[in-house]
């Protein structure tokens, strides 16, 4: 059963943060003396266990280098790791401000597919994350979207009901997965459209809460 809580659950990259820095994969490929296309294939094919916290950064980068039949050494791995973290470090300041402003009218949480070491760097660089009501990173909770366990983590951690959430993500498959767990969902395109959707959802939540509120007890 839903409660009278309203929780806006944000994805990070493609919503509040920007997608990977253009040209980053090409620079990492050049560091390895590998073709960009081949490097990009290996980078993404090996990524799921790293995102979901089942591999460490060295294990992930070892898998990438072996996929490409390249030598594995600690210096290369660390350089690739740091370049990778930097490539995902940009935020949309307008969206950061909007998410923070929502805390005046709703609870605000975050659910992102991001490896554990990336999450540590992001938390250190973006102190506003510590002000949110809950932050869940796939590499920390050992579950990545669109797996139901990622959404269930937020429900349990926040002691809420799925219907208390409006999940916002730029990937439709993730939004549909959230809706399958009982959450409300919105596929993000831009801030203005999102603001209108959130306002409507919050108004609906308030009306529903009033409608279902029990009548006051009658005196004897």
In DSSP terms, 108 is beta-bridged to: 8
Distance CA 178, CA 150 (A): 9
Three-state DSSP class for residue 128: helix
Q: What is the three-class DSSP state of 220?
A: coil
Same domain, 129 and 172: yes
Q: Which of 87, 103, 136 is the last residue of a domain?
A: 87
Are residue 11 and residue 30 in the same domain, yes or no?
no
Q: Are residues 49 and 99 in the same domain?
A: no
* Residue 95 is assigned to a structural domain of this protein: yes
CA dihedral (78, 80, 82, 88) in degrees, to 10, reads -150
The residue segments making up the domain with residue 137 are 7-18+90-212
**pLDDT, tens digit (0-9, with 9 covering 90-100), for 152-161:** 999 999 999 9
SS3 (DSSP) at 8: strand
* Whether residue 105 is found in the same domain as residue 179: yes
Residues 75 and 105 in one domain: no
Looking up tokens 């549909």 gives: 176
Per-residue pLDDT tens over the stretch 52-71: 999 999 999 999 999 999 99
Does the predicted model carry a pTM greater than 0.85? yes
pLDDT tens sequence across 109-137: 999 999 999 999 999 999 999 999 999 99
State how far the Cα of 170 lies from the Cα of 16, in Å rounded to an integer.
10
């Amino acid at each position: 059963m839903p409660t009278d809580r309203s929780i806006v659950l944000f994805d990070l990259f493609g919503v509040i943060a920007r997608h990977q820095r253009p040209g980053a994969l090409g620079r990492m490929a050049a560091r390895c003396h590998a073709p960009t296309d081949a490097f990009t294939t290996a980078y993404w094919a090996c990524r799921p266990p790293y995102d979901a916290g089942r591999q460490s950064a060295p294990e992930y980068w070892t898998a990438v280098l072996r996929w490409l039949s390249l030598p594995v050494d600690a210096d290369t791995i660390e350089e690739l790791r740091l370049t990778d973290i930097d490539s995902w470090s940009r935020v949309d300041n307008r969206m950061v401000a909007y998410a923070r402003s929502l805390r005046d009218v709703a609870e605000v949480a975050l659910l992102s597919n991001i490896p554990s070491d990336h999450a540590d760097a992001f938390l250190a660089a973006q102190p506003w994350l510590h002000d949110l009501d809950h932050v869940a990173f796939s590499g920390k909770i050992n579950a990545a979207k669109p797996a139901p366990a990622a959404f269930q983590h937020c429900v349990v951690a926040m002691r809420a009901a799925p219907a208390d959430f409006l999940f916002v993500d730029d990937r439709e498959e993730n939004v549909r997965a959230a809706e399958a767990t009982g959450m409300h969902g919105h596929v993000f395109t831009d801030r203005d459209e999102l603001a209108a959707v959130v306002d409507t959802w919050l108004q609906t939540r308030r009306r529903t809460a009033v409608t279902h509120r029990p009548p006051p007890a009658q005196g004897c």
